[in-house]
Structure 1
Protein backbone atom coordinates (compact mmCIF):
# COMPACT_ATOMS: atom_id res chain seq x y z
CA UNK A 1 0.00 0.00 0.00
CA UNK A 2 1.38 3.42 -0.96
CA UNK A 3 1.87 6.32 1.40
CA UNK A 4 -0.93 8.24 -0.29
CA UNK A 5 -3.35 5.34 0.34
CA UNK A 6 -2.38 5.33 4.02
CA UNK A 7 -3.07 9.09 4.05
CA UNK A 8 -6.59 8.53 2.65
CA UNK A 9 -7.29 5.89 5.32
CA UNK A 10 -6.03 8.30 7.96
CA UNK A 11 -8.44 10.94 6.68
CA UNK A 12 -11.29 8.43 6.91
CA UNK A 13 -10.37 7.64 10.52
CA UNK A 14 -10.25 11.33 11.37
CA UNK A 15 -13.61 11.85 9.64
CA UNK A 16 -15.20 9.21 11.86
CA UNK A 17 -13.58 10.80 14.90
CA UNK A 18 -14.91 14.23 13.94
CA UNK A 19 -18.50 12.99 13.86
CA UNK A 20 -17.98 11.19 17.18
CA UNK A 21 -16.63 14.37 18.78
CA UNK A 22 -19.86 16.19 17.92
CA UNK A 23 -21.95 13.32 19.30
CA UNK A 24 -19.92 13.20 22.50
CA UNK A 25 -20.00 16.92 23.19
CA UNK A 26 -23.47 17.07 24.83
CA UNK A 27 -22.50 14.44 27.39
CA UNK A 28 -18.99 15.77 28.03
CA UNK A 29 -18.15 16.77 31.59
CA UNK A 30 -14.42 17.27 31.09
CA UNK A 31 -12.23 17.47 27.99
CA UNK A 32 -14.63 15.51 25.71
CA UNK A 33 -12.17 12.60 25.58
CA UNK A 34 -9.13 14.44 24.18
CA UNK A 35 -6.74 13.00 26.77
CA UNK A 36 -8.29 9.55 26.35
CA UNK A 37 -7.57 9.65 22.62
CA UNK A 38 -3.91 10.54 23.20
CA UNK A 39 -3.49 7.77 25.78
CA UNK A 40 -5.10 5.24 23.44
CA UNK A 41 -2.80 6.34 20.63
CA UNK A 42 0.19 5.82 22.91
CA UNK A 43 -0.99 2.37 24.01
CA UNK A 44 -1.88 1.21 20.50
CA UNK A 45 1.35 2.46 18.95
CA UNK A 46 3.32 0.85 21.79
CA UNK A 47 1.69 -2.52 21.08
CA UNK A 48 2.31 -2.14 17.36
CA UNK A 49 5.94 -1.23 17.97
CA UNK A 50 6.48 -4.21 20.26
CA UNK A 51 4.90 -6.57 17.73
CA UNK A 52 5.95 -5.18 14.36
CA UNK A 53 8.31 -2.32 15.10
CA UNK A 54 11.78 -1.80 13.78
CA UNK A 55 13.19 0.24 10.95
CA UNK A 56 12.04 -0.85 7.52
CA UNK A 57 15.56 -0.32 6.13
CA UNK A 58 17.29 -2.48 8.71
CA UNK A 59 19.45 0.49 9.68
CA UNK A 60 20.69 0.93 13.24
CA UNK A 61 21.30 4.62 13.94
CA UNK A 62 24.06 5.76 16.24
CA UNK A 63 23.06 6.63 19.82
CA UNK A 64 23.30 10.34 19.08
CA UNK A 65 21.05 9.97 16.01
CA UNK A 66 18.59 7.84 18.00
CA UNK A 67 18.38 10.50 20.70
CA UNK A 68 17.83 13.15 18.05
CA UNK A 69 15.04 11.14 16.42
CA UNK A 70 13.31 10.64 19.78
CA UNK A 71 13.45 14.37 20.49
CA UNK A 72 12.09 15.18 17.03
CA UNK A 73 9.22 12.70 17.42
CA UNK A 74 8.47 14.21 20.83
CA UNK A 75 8.35 17.71 19.37
CA UNK A 76 6.01 16.48 16.63
CA UNK A 77 3.75 14.91 19.25
CA UNK A 78 3.63 18.07 21.34
CA UNK A 79 2.82 20.10 18.22
CA UNK A 80 -0.04 17.83 17.13
CA UNK A 81 -1.45 16.21 20.28
CA UNK A 82 -0.64 19.06 22.62
CA UNK A 83 -0.62 22.50 21.03
CA UNK A 84 -2.56 21.78 17.84
CA UNK A 85 -5.44 19.81 19.29
CA UNK A 86 -5.88 21.96 22.40
CA UNK A 87 -5.65 25.22 20.46
CA UNK A 88 -8.32 24.03 18.05
CA UNK A 89 -10.64 23.17 20.95
CA UNK A 90 -10.11 26.62 22.45
CA UNK A 91 -10.67 28.23 19.06
CA UNK A 92 -13.92 26.31 18.61
CA UNK A 93 -15.15 27.57 21.97
CA UNK A 94 -14.63 31.17 20.83
CA UNK A 95 -15.43 31.24 17.11
CA UNK A 96 -17.60 28.14 16.67
CA UNK A 97 -17.05 24.83 14.92
CA UNK A 98 -17.55 26.15 11.36
CA UNK A 99 -14.88 28.84 11.50
CA UNK A 100 -12.51 26.62 13.47
CA UNK A 101 -12.90 23.79 10.96
CA UNK A 102 -12.17 26.15 8.08
CA UNK A 103 -9.04 27.44 9.79
CA UNK A 104 -7.85 23.83 10.15
CA UNK A 105 -7.71 23.74 6.34
CA UNK A 106 -4.84 26.24 6.53
CA UNK A 107 -2.60 23.35 7.61
CA UNK A 108 -1.55 22.32 4.06
CA UNK A 109 -0.63 25.91 3.25
CA UNK A 110 1.66 26.04 6.29
CA UNK A 111 3.11 22.62 5.40
CA UNK A 112 4.62 23.92 2.15
CA UNK A 113 7.15 26.29 3.80
CA UNK A 114 7.64 23.95 6.78
CA UNK A 115 8.48 20.98 4.56
CA UNK A 116 10.83 23.09 2.46
CA UNK A 117 12.67 24.57 5.44
CA UNK A 118 12.92 21.39 7.54
CA UNK A 119 13.07 18.66 4.88
CA UNK A 120 14.09 20.41 1.69
CA UNK A 121 11.04 18.95 -0.08
CA UNK A 122 10.05 20.68 -3.32
CA UNK A 123 6.68 19.36 -4.56
CA UNK A 124 6.54 17.92 -8.08
CA UNK A 125 4.09 19.39 -10.64
CA UNK A 126 1.82 16.33 -10.34
CA UNK A 127 1.76 16.76 -6.57
CA UNK A 128 0.79 20.41 -6.92
CA UNK A 129 -1.98 19.59 -9.43
CA UNK A 130 -3.46 16.75 -7.37
CA UNK A 131 -3.13 18.74 -4.17
CA UNK A 132 -4.86 21.74 -5.75
CA UNK A 133 -7.81 19.60 -6.85
CA UNK A 134 -8.17 18.02 -3.40
CA UNK A 135 -7.98 21.38 -1.66
CA UNK A 136 -10.42 22.96 -4.14
CA UNK A 137 -12.89 20.15 -3.55
CA UNK A 138 -12.78 20.64 0.19
CA UNK A 139 -13.08 24.43 -0.04
CA UNK A 140 -16.08 24.18 -2.40
CA UNK A 141 -17.92 22.35 0.35
CA UNK A 142 -16.75 24.17 3.48
CA UNK A 143 -16.77 27.77 2.21
CA UNK A 144 -20.54 27.94 1.47
CA UNK A 145 -21.21 26.42 4.88
CA UNK A 146 -19.07 29.12 6.47
CA UNK A 147 -20.84 31.93 4.63
CA UNK A 148 -24.24 30.46 5.48
CA UNK A 149 -23.43 29.99 9.15
CA UNK A 150 -25.45 32.18 11.51
CA UNK A 151 -25.19 32.14 15.30
CA UNK A 152 -28.21 30.64 16.99
CA UNK A 153 -30.33 33.01 19.07
CA UNK A 154 -29.31 31.21 22.26
CA UNK A 155 -25.63 30.86 21.30
CA UNK A 156 -23.12 32.08 23.90
CA UNK A 157 -22.09 35.67 23.37
CA UNK A 158 -18.41 34.72 23.12
CA UNK A 159 -19.03 32.73 19.90
CA UNK A 160 -17.91 35.22 17.26
CA UNK A 161 -15.04 35.96 14.92
CA UNK A 162 -13.03 37.53 17.72
CA UNK A 163 -9.29 38.05 17.10
CA UNK A 164 -8.18 35.68 19.86
CA UNK A 165 -10.28 32.81 18.52
CA UNK A 166 -9.01 33.35 14.98
CA UNK A 167 -5.44 33.52 16.29
CA UNK A 168 -5.87 30.24 18.18
CA UNK A 169 -7.31 28.53 15.11
CA UNK A 170 -4.40 29.74 13.00
CA UNK A 171 -1.95 28.63 15.69
CA UNK A 172 -3.51 25.17 15.63
CA UNK A 173 -3.09 24.89 11.86
CA UNK A 174 0.54 25.99 12.14
CA UNK A 175 1.17 23.47 14.93
CA UNK A 176 -0.25 20.62 12.85
CA UNK A 177 1.87 21.68 9.88
CA UNK A 178 5.01 21.69 12.03
CA UNK A 179 4.05 18.24 13.30
CA UNK A 180 3.86 16.93 9.72
CA UNK A 181 7.30 18.30 8.94
CA UNK A 182 8.92 17.12 12.19
CA UNK A 183 7.48 13.62 11.74
CA UNK A 184 8.98 13.45 8.27
CA UNK A 185 12.32 14.68 9.62
CA UNK A 186 12.28 12.08 12.39
CA UNK A 187 11.41 9.28 9.98
CA UNK A 188 14.37 10.26 7.80
CA UNK A 189 16.63 9.51 10.78
CA UNK A 190 14.74 6.55 12.22
CA UNK A 191 12.25 5.03 9.71
CA UNK A 192 10.01 3.38 12.32
CA UNK A 193 6.47 4.85 12.17
CA UNK A 194 5.12 2.96 15.18
CA UNK A 195 7.99 4.08 17.39
CA UNK A 196 7.54 7.67 16.26
CA UNK A 197 3.80 7.54 16.91
CA UNK A 198 4.38 6.12 20.39
CA UNK A 199 6.93 8.77 21.35
CA UNK A 200 4.77 11.56 19.96
CA UNK A 201 1.66 10.33 21.76
CA UNK A 202 3.39 10.05 25.11
CA UNK A 203 4.92 13.50 24.65
CA UNK A 204 1.51 14.94 23.75
CA UNK A 205 -0.10 13.25 26.76
CA UNK A 206 2.51 14.74 29.07
CA UNK A 207 1.93 18.17 27.53
CA UNK A 208 -1.86 17.93 28.03
CA UNK A 209 -1.37 16.66 31.58
CA UNK A 210 0.98 19.51 32.43
CA UNK A 211 -1.44 22.03 30.93
CA UNK A 212 -4.43 20.66 32.86
CA UNK A 213 -2.51 20.61 36.14
CA UNK A 214 -1.28 24.16 35.57
CA UNK A 215 -4.78 25.44 34.78
CA UNK A 216 -6.87 23.52 37.32
CA UNK A 217 -4.54 22.08 39.94
CA UNK A 218 -3.81 18.44 40.71
CA UNK A 219 -7.22 17.13 41.75
CA UNK A 220 -9.42 19.10 39.36
CA UNK A 221 -6.94 18.71 36.53
CA UNK A 222 -6.90 14.91 36.76
CA UNK A 223 -10.69 14.84 37.03
CA UNK A 224 -11.01 17.08 33.97
CA UNK A 225 -8.88 14.70 31.90
CA UNK A 226 -10.47 11.45 33.07
CA UNK A 227 -14.23 12.07 33.33
CA UNK A 228 -15.37 11.53 29.74
CA UNK A 229 -15.48 7.81 28.94
CA UNK A 230 -18.77 7.33 27.04
CA UNK A 231 -19.09 5.31 23.81
CA UNK A 232 -18.74 8.41 21.64
CA UNK A 233 -15.54 9.35 23.44
CA UNK A 234 -14.09 5.88 22.86
CA UNK A 235 -15.05 6.04 19.17
CA UNK A 236 -13.33 9.40 18.95
CA UNK A 237 -10.24 7.98 20.61
CA UNK A 238 -10.13 5.00 18.25
CA UNK A 239 -10.54 7.21 15.19
CA UNK A 240 -7.88 9.69 16.23
CA UNK A 241 -5.47 6.93 17.25
CA UNK A 242 -5.85 5.05 13.98
CA UNK A 243 -5.59 8.27 12.01
CA UNK A 244 -2.34 9.36 13.61
CA UNK A 245 -0.66 5.97 13.21
CA UNK A 246 -1.79 5.73 9.58
CA UNK A 247 -0.33 9.17 8.99
CA UNK A 248 3.06 7.98 10.25
CA UNK A 249 2.99 5.11 7.76
CA UNK A 250 1.96 7.57 5.05
CA UNK A 251 4.83 9.92 5.82
CA UNK A 252 7.28 7.05 5.57
CA UNK A 253 6.69 6.65 1.82
CA UNK A 254 4.97 9.83 0.60
CA UNK A 255 5.88 13.54 0.53
CA UNK A 256 4.77 15.57 3.52
CA UNK A 257 2.74 17.95 1.33
CA UNK A 258 0.78 15.09 -0.26
CA UNK A 259 -0.05 13.55 3.12
CA UNK A 260 -1.14 16.89 4.55
CA UNK A 261 -3.37 17.78 1.60
CA UNK A 262 -4.96 14.33 1.42
CA UNK A 263 -5.77 14.84 5.09
CA UNK A 264 -8.25 17.53 4.05
CA UNK A 265 -10.49 14.69 2.80
CA UNK A 266 -11.45 14.34 6.45
CA UNK A 267 -14.16 16.96 5.88
CA UNK A 268 -15.64 14.99 2.99
CA UNK A 269 -15.67 11.74 4.93
CA UNK A 270 -17.36 13.42 7.89
CA UNK A 271 -20.03 14.88 5.61
CA UNK A 272 -20.66 11.50 4.00
CA UNK A 273 -21.00 9.79 7.40
CA UNK A 274 -23.47 12.43 8.56
CA UNK A 275 -25.50 12.15 5.35
CA UNK A 276 -25.61 8.35 5.18
CA UNK A 277 -25.53 7.24 8.83
CA UNK A 278 -26.01 9.73 11.64
CA UNK A 279 -28.22 12.28 9.80
CA UNK A 280 -27.62 14.59 12.74
CA UNK A 281 -26.70 17.63 10.64
CA UNK A 282 -27.78 19.26 7.39
CA UNK A 283 -25.58 18.35 4.41
CA UNK A 284 -25.55 20.41 1.20
CA UNK A 285 -25.91 17.73 -1.49
CA UNK A 286 -24.87 19.63 -4.64
CA UNK A 287 -21.67 21.16 -3.22
CA UNK A 288 -20.85 17.75 -1.74
CA UNK A 289 -21.16 16.03 -5.15
CA UNK A 290 -18.97 18.62 -6.90
CA UNK A 291 -16.45 18.59 -4.07
CA UNK A 292 -16.34 14.80 -4.15
CA UNK A 293 -15.60 14.77 -7.89
CA UNK A 294 -12.72 17.23 -7.53
CA UNK A 295 -11.32 15.54 -4.44
CA UNK A 296 -11.51 12.10 -6.06
CA UNK A 297 -9.72 13.36 -9.18
CA UNK A 298 -7.01 14.95 -7.08
CA UNK A 299 -6.63 11.82 -4.98
CA UNK A 300 -6.27 9.69 -8.13
CA UNK A 301 -3.50 11.95 -9.42
CA UNK A 302 -1.65 11.73 -6.09
CA UNK A 303 -2.07 7.96 -5.89
CA UNK A 304 -0.99 7.13 -9.45
CA UNK A 305 1.40 9.97 -10.31
Structure 2
Protein backbone atom coordinates (compact mmCIF):
# COMPACT_ATOMS: atom_id res chain seq x y z
CA UNK A 1 0.00 0.00 0.00
CA UNK A 2 1.19 3.54 -0.76
CA UNK A 3 1.86 6.22 1.80
CA UNK A 4 -1.28 8.02 0.64
CA UNK A 5 -3.35 4.87 1.26
CA UNK A 6 -2.03 4.54 4.80
CA UNK A 7 -2.77 8.24 5.36
CA UNK A 8 -6.41 7.68 4.36
CA UNK A 9 -6.70 4.68 6.71
CA UNK A 10 -5.30 6.88 9.47
CA UNK A 11 -7.95 9.50 8.71
CA UNK A 12 -10.71 6.87 8.93
CA UNK A 13 -9.35 5.62 12.25
CA UNK A 14 -9.14 9.11 13.72
CA UNK A 15 -12.64 9.88 12.46
CA UNK A 16 -13.99 6.88 14.35
CA UNK A 17 -12.03 7.85 17.46
CA UNK A 18 -13.51 11.35 17.47
CA UNK A 19 -17.03 9.96 17.63
CA UNK A 20 -16.29 7.31 20.24
CA UNK A 21 -14.58 9.87 22.50
CA UNK A 22 -17.94 11.65 22.76
CA UNK A 23 -19.75 8.38 23.46
CA UNK A 24 -17.22 7.43 26.13
CA UNK A 25 -17.45 10.78 27.93
CA UNK A 26 -20.90 9.92 29.33
CA UNK A 27 -19.50 7.07 31.43
CA UNK A 28 -16.03 8.50 32.09
CA UNK A 29 -14.80 8.72 35.67
CA UNK A 30 -11.17 9.49 34.90
CA UNK A 31 -9.40 10.74 31.78
CA UNK A 32 -11.98 9.18 29.37
CA UNK A 33 -9.45 6.56 28.28
CA UNK A 34 -6.51 8.72 27.17
CA UNK A 35 -3.98 6.63 29.10
CA UNK A 36 -5.64 3.40 28.00
CA UNK A 37 -5.27 4.48 24.36
CA UNK A 38 -1.53 5.03 24.81
CA UNK A 39 -1.14 1.64 26.54
CA UNK A 40 -2.86 -0.10 23.63
CA UNK A 41 -0.79 1.84 21.08
CA UNK A 42 2.39 0.71 22.84
CA UNK A 43 1.24 -2.93 22.97
CA UNK A 44 0.14 -3.14 19.32
CA UNK A 45 3.10 -1.28 17.87
CA UNK A 46 5.55 -3.24 20.03
CA UNK A 47 4.08 -6.53 18.81
CA UNK A 48 4.26 -5.37 15.19
CA UNK A 49 7.88 -4.35 15.60
CA UNK A 50 8.97 -7.59 17.28
CA UNK A 51 7.11 -9.73 14.76
CA UNK A 52 7.55 -7.88 11.47
CA UNK A 53 9.79 -4.90 12.15
CA UNK A 54 12.50 -3.91 9.69
CA UNK A 55 14.91 -2.68 12.35
CA UNK A 56 16.22 -5.40 14.62
CA UNK A 57 17.50 -5.20 18.19
CA UNK A 58 21.16 -5.10 17.12
CA UNK A 59 20.54 -1.97 15.03
CA UNK A 60 18.57 -0.33 17.83
CA UNK A 61 21.42 -0.93 20.29
CA UNK A 62 24.01 0.80 18.09
CA UNK A 63 25.25 4.34 18.59
CA UNK A 64 23.76 5.34 15.23
CA UNK A 65 20.30 4.73 16.64
CA UNK A 66 20.66 7.20 19.52
CA UNK A 67 19.59 10.27 17.57
CA UNK A 68 16.53 8.77 15.81
CA UNK A 69 15.37 7.17 19.08
CA UNK A 70 15.63 10.56 20.78
CA UNK A 71 13.59 12.05 17.93
CA UNK A 72 10.93 9.32 18.30
CA UNK A 73 10.79 9.99 22.04
CA UNK A 74 10.22 13.70 21.42
CA UNK A 75 7.60 12.92 18.76
CA UNK A 76 5.82 10.70 21.27
CA UNK A 77 5.58 13.49 23.82
CA UNK A 78 4.10 15.86 21.23
CA UNK A 79 1.63 13.33 19.81
CA UNK A 80 0.81 10.86 22.61
CA UNK A 81 0.73 13.35 25.48
CA UNK A 82 0.16 16.89 24.22
CA UNK A 83 -1.62 16.21 20.94
CA UNK A 84 -3.78 13.34 22.14
CA UNK A 85 -4.80 14.92 25.45
CA UNK A 86 -5.81 18.22 23.85
CA UNK A 87 -7.63 16.31 21.11
CA UNK A 88 -9.72 14.44 23.71
CA UNK A 89 -10.58 17.61 25.62
CA UNK A 90 -11.40 19.60 22.48
CA UNK A 91 -13.60 16.81 21.13
CA UNK A 92 -15.51 16.61 24.41
CA UNK A 93 -16.19 20.36 24.40
CA UNK A 94 -16.90 21.28 20.77
CA UNK A 95 -17.87 17.91 19.29
CA UNK A 96 -16.09 15.43 17.00
CA UNK A 97 -16.76 17.17 13.66
CA UNK A 98 -15.54 20.61 14.72
CA UNK A 99 -12.50 19.13 16.47
CA UNK A 100 -11.72 17.05 13.38
CA UNK A 101 -11.92 20.08 11.11
CA UNK A 102 -9.68 22.11 13.41
CA UNK A 103 -6.99 19.44 13.13
CA UNK A 104 -6.83 20.31 9.45
CA UNK A 105 -4.82 23.32 10.58
CA UNK A 106 -1.95 20.89 11.03
CA UNK A 107 -0.59 21.55 7.49
CA UNK A 108 -0.38 25.27 8.25
CA UNK A 109 2.26 24.50 10.85
CA UNK A 110 3.71 21.34 9.29
CA UNK A 111 4.48 23.07 5.99
CA UNK A 112 6.98 25.68 7.23
CA UNK A 113 8.48 23.27 9.76
CA UNK A 114 8.96 20.64 7.06
CA UNK A 115 10.59 23.16 4.75
CA UNK A 116 12.98 24.46 7.41
CA UNK A 117 13.96 21.23 9.15
CA UNK A 118 13.46 18.55 6.48
CA UNK A 119 14.12 20.62 3.35
CA UNK A 120 10.87 19.32 1.83
CA UNK A 121 9.73 21.64 -0.95
CA UNK A 122 6.40 20.35 -2.31
CA UNK A 123 5.13 21.13 -5.80
CA UNK A 124 2.93 24.17 -6.41
CA UNK A 125 -0.26 22.06 -6.45
CA UNK A 126 0.57 20.80 -2.97
CA UNK A 127 0.63 24.35 -1.67
CA UNK A 128 -2.64 25.08 -3.46
CA UNK A 129 -4.25 21.91 -2.10
CA UNK A 130 -3.12 22.76 1.41
CA UNK A 131 -4.50 26.26 0.90
CA UNK A 132 -7.95 24.87 0.08
CA UNK A 133 -7.91 22.79 3.24
CA UNK A 134 -6.92 25.81 5.29
CA UNK A 135 -9.66 27.89 3.66
CA UNK A 136 -12.24 25.29 4.68
CA UNK A 137 -11.03 25.37 8.27
CA UNK A 138 -11.07 29.14 8.42
CA UNK A 139 -14.56 29.24 6.91
CA UNK A 140 -15.83 27.00 9.68
CA UNK A 141 -13.97 28.85 12.43
CA UNK A 142 -15.53 32.07 11.20
CA UNK A 143 -18.97 30.82 12.16
CA UNK A 144 -18.63 28.13 14.85
CA UNK A 145 -21.56 26.75 16.78
CA UNK A 146 -22.27 28.79 19.87
CA UNK A 147 -23.29 27.21 23.13
CA UNK A 148 -23.62 28.76 26.60
CA UNK A 149 -20.65 29.02 28.92
CA UNK A 150 -16.90 29.36 28.53
CA UNK A 151 -16.25 25.74 27.58
CA UNK A 152 -16.59 26.09 23.79
CA UNK A 153 -14.05 28.94 23.66
CA UNK A 154 -11.51 26.82 25.47
CA UNK A 155 -12.43 23.89 23.23
CA UNK A 156 -11.53 25.86 20.10
CA UNK A 157 -8.18 26.83 21.61
CA UNK A 158 -7.48 23.23 22.58
CA UNK A 159 -8.36 22.12 19.05
CA UNK A 160 -5.89 24.57 17.51
CA UNK A 161 -3.28 23.52 20.07
CA UNK A 162 -3.81 19.87 19.19
CA UNK A 163 -3.19 20.64 15.51
CA UNK A 164 0.04 22.42 16.41
CA UNK A 165 1.30 19.58 18.59
CA UNK A 166 0.53 17.00 15.91
CA UNK A 167 2.27 19.13 13.27
CA UNK A 168 5.49 19.10 15.28
CA UNK A 169 5.17 15.36 15.84
CA UNK A 170 4.72 14.74 12.09
CA UNK A 171 7.95 16.51 11.29
CA UNK A 172 9.85 14.77 14.08
CA UNK A 173 8.57 11.33 13.02
CA UNK A 174 9.49 11.93 9.41
CA UNK A 175 13.00 12.96 10.44
CA UNK A 176 13.39 9.89 12.66
CA UNK A 177 12.15 7.54 9.94
CA UNK A 178 14.76 8.90 7.54
CA UNK A 179 17.43 7.51 9.88
CA UNK A 180 15.67 4.48 11.35
CA UNK A 181 13.01 3.38 8.84
CA UNK A 182 10.68 1.30 10.98
CA UNK A 183 7.21 2.75 11.55
CA UNK A 184 6.22 0.19 14.20
CA UNK A 185 9.39 0.81 16.21
CA UNK A 186 8.94 4.58 16.01
CA UNK A 187 5.35 4.30 17.22
CA UNK A 188 6.40 1.97 20.04
CA UNK A 189 9.13 4.30 21.29
CA UNK A 190 6.80 7.29 21.13
CA UNK A 191 4.11 5.44 23.07
CA UNK A 192 6.63 4.43 25.76
CA UNK A 193 7.61 8.08 26.11
CA UNK A 194 3.95 8.99 26.52
CA UNK A 195 3.36 6.31 29.16
CA UNK A 196 6.44 7.33 31.13
CA UNK A 197 5.43 10.97 31.08
CA UNK A 198 1.82 10.33 32.14
CA UNK A 199 2.76 7.98 34.97
CA UNK A 200 5.55 10.26 36.15
CA UNK A 201 3.22 13.28 36.13
CA UNK A 202 0.65 11.36 38.17
CA UNK A 203 3.13 10.10 40.75
CA UNK A 204 4.82 13.46 41.31
CA UNK A 205 1.56 15.20 42.22
CA UNK A 206 -0.29 15.11 45.53
CA UNK A 207 -2.07 11.79 45.98
CA UNK A 208 0.21 10.13 43.45
CA UNK A 209 -0.90 6.48 43.88
CA UNK A 210 -4.57 7.44 43.61
CA UNK A 211 -3.87 9.55 40.52
CA UNK A 212 -1.98 6.63 38.99
CA UNK A 213 -4.91 4.27 39.56
CA UNK A 214 -7.25 6.86 38.08
CA UNK A 215 -5.38 6.65 34.77
CA UNK A 216 -6.95 3.23 34.13
CA UNK A 217 -10.36 3.91 35.65
CA UNK A 218 -12.08 4.24 32.27
CA UNK A 219 -12.12 0.84 30.54
CA UNK A 220 -15.61 0.64 29.10
CA UNK A 221 -16.46 -0.56 25.56
CA UNK A 222 -16.33 2.95 24.07
CA UNK A 223 -12.99 3.64 25.75
CA UNK A 224 -11.53 0.44 24.31
CA UNK A 225 -12.91 1.23 20.86
CA UNK A 226 -11.39 4.71 21.01
CA UNK A 227 -8.07 3.26 22.11
CA UNK A 228 -8.09 0.76 19.24
CA UNK A 229 -9.00 3.43 16.67
CA UNK A 230 -6.32 5.83 17.88
CA UNK A 231 -3.71 3.06 17.96
CA UNK A 232 -4.54 2.09 14.39
CA UNK A 233 -4.46 5.72 13.28
CA UNK A 234 -1.08 6.31 14.90
CA UNK A 235 0.47 3.24 13.28
CA UNK A 236 -1.05 3.92 9.84
CA UNK A 237 0.29 7.46 10.08
CA UNK A 238 3.82 6.23 10.74
CA UNK A 239 3.67 3.90 7.74
CA UNK A 240 2.35 6.78 5.62
CA UNK A 241 5.29 8.97 6.58
CA UNK A 242 7.71 6.33 5.32
CA UNK A 243 6.79 6.94 1.68
CA UNK A 244 4.90 10.24 1.49
CA UNK A 245 5.97 13.82 2.31
CA UNK A 246 4.95 15.10 5.72
CA UNK A 247 2.71 17.82 4.26
CA UNK A 248 0.84 15.28 2.09
CA UNK A 249 0.24 12.99 5.07
CA UNK A 250 -0.93 15.89 7.21
CA UNK A 251 -3.27 17.28 4.57
CA UNK A 252 -4.79 13.95 3.47
CA UNK A 253 -6.22 13.85 6.96
CA UNK A 254 -8.85 16.28 5.64
CA UNK A 255 -11.04 13.29 4.83
CA UNK A 256 -11.24 12.65 8.55
CA UNK A 257 -13.91 15.37 8.63
CA UNK A 258 -16.18 13.37 6.32
CA UNK A 259 -15.49 10.12 8.14
CA UNK A 260 -16.29 11.78 11.47
CA UNK A 261 -19.51 13.31 10.16
CA UNK A 262 -20.76 10.07 8.63
CA UNK A 263 -19.82 7.93 11.62
CA UNK A 264 -21.40 10.53 13.89
CA UNK A 265 -24.75 9.98 12.20
CA UNK A 266 -24.49 6.24 12.87
CA UNK A 267 -23.08 6.27 16.41
CA UNK A 268 -24.41 9.52 17.87
CA UNK A 269 -27.36 10.53 15.71
CA UNK A 270 -28.18 13.03 13.00
CA UNK A 271 -27.89 15.91 15.47
CA UNK A 272 -24.15 15.29 15.71
CA UNK A 273 -23.65 16.61 12.19
CA UNK A 274 -24.44 20.25 11.56
CA UNK A 275 -24.63 19.73 7.81
CA UNK A 276 -25.19 23.28 6.66
CA UNK A 277 -22.11 24.49 8.50
CA UNK A 278 -19.78 21.60 7.85
CA UNK A 279 -20.23 20.41 4.28
CA UNK A 280 -18.86 23.45 2.44
CA UNK A 281 -15.71 23.61 4.59
CA UNK A 282 -15.35 19.83 4.28
CA UNK A 283 -15.74 19.97 0.49
CA UNK A 284 -12.95 22.55 0.30
CA UNK A 285 -10.79 20.22 2.37
CA UNK A 286 -11.53 17.29 0.07
CA UNK A 287 -10.79 19.40 -3.03
CA UNK A 288 -7.37 20.04 -1.53
CA UNK A 289 -6.98 16.32 -0.91
CA UNK A 290 -7.73 15.53 -4.58
CA UNK A 291 -5.00 17.94 -5.67
CA UNK A 292 -2.54 16.31 -3.29
CA UNK A 293 -3.26 12.83 -4.65
CA UNK A 294 -3.19 13.78 -8.37
Q: Specify the TM-score bucket, using the shorter chain as the normaliser.
A: 0.7 to 0.9
Q: Deviations over 1:16-46 (max 9, x none)?
A: 0010000000100001000000010000001
SS at match of 1:106: helix
Task: State the TM-score, normalized to the length of structure 2.
Answer: 0.87
Q: For residues 216 and 173 of structure 1, what CA distance do their matches in structure 2 show?
A: 31
Q: State the 1:90 CA deviation.
A: 5.4
Of 167, 180, 183, which aligns to 1:177?
A: 167
Matches within 5 A, 1:6-21: 6-21=6-21
Q: State the 1:187 CA deviation.
A: 0.3
SS at match of 2:110: helix
Equivalenced residue count is 290
Q: Deviations over 1:169-207 (max 9, x none)?
A: 544332211101000000000111011011011111111
Structure 1 gap segments, 5+ residues each:
152-156
Task: State the TM-score, normalized to the length of structure 1.
Answer: 0.84
Q: For residues 5 and 138 of structure 1, what CA distance do their matches in structure 2 show?
A: 23
Q: State the 1:101 CA deviation.
A: 5.7
Q: State the 1:49 CA deviation.
A: 0.8
Whether the 8 Å CA contact 1:81–1:204 is kept in 2: the answer is: yes
Whether the 8 Å CA contact 1:72–1:183 is kept in 2: the answer is: yes
Q: For residues 6 and 301 of structure 1, what CA distance do their matches in structure 2 show?
A: 17
C-alpha RMSD of the superposition: 2.7
Whether the 8 Å CA contact 2:20–2:225 is kept in 1: the answer is: yes
SS at match of 1:129: helix
Q: State the 1:158 CA deviation.
A: 4.7
Pair 269,135 (structure 1): closer, same or farther in 2 beyond 3 Å: farther
Q: Which residue of 2 aligns with 1:154?
A: none
Q: Which residue of 2 aligns with 1:186?
A: 176
Q: For residues 173 and 208 of structure 2, what CA distance do their matches in structure 1 show?
A: 31
Pair 160,243 (structure 1): closer, same or farther in 2 beyond 3 Å: closer
SS at match of 2:14: helix
Structure 2 gap segments, 5+ residues each:
none
Q: State the 1:286 CA deviation.
A: 4.3
Pair 166,287 (structure 1): closer, same or farther in 2 beyond 3 Å: closer
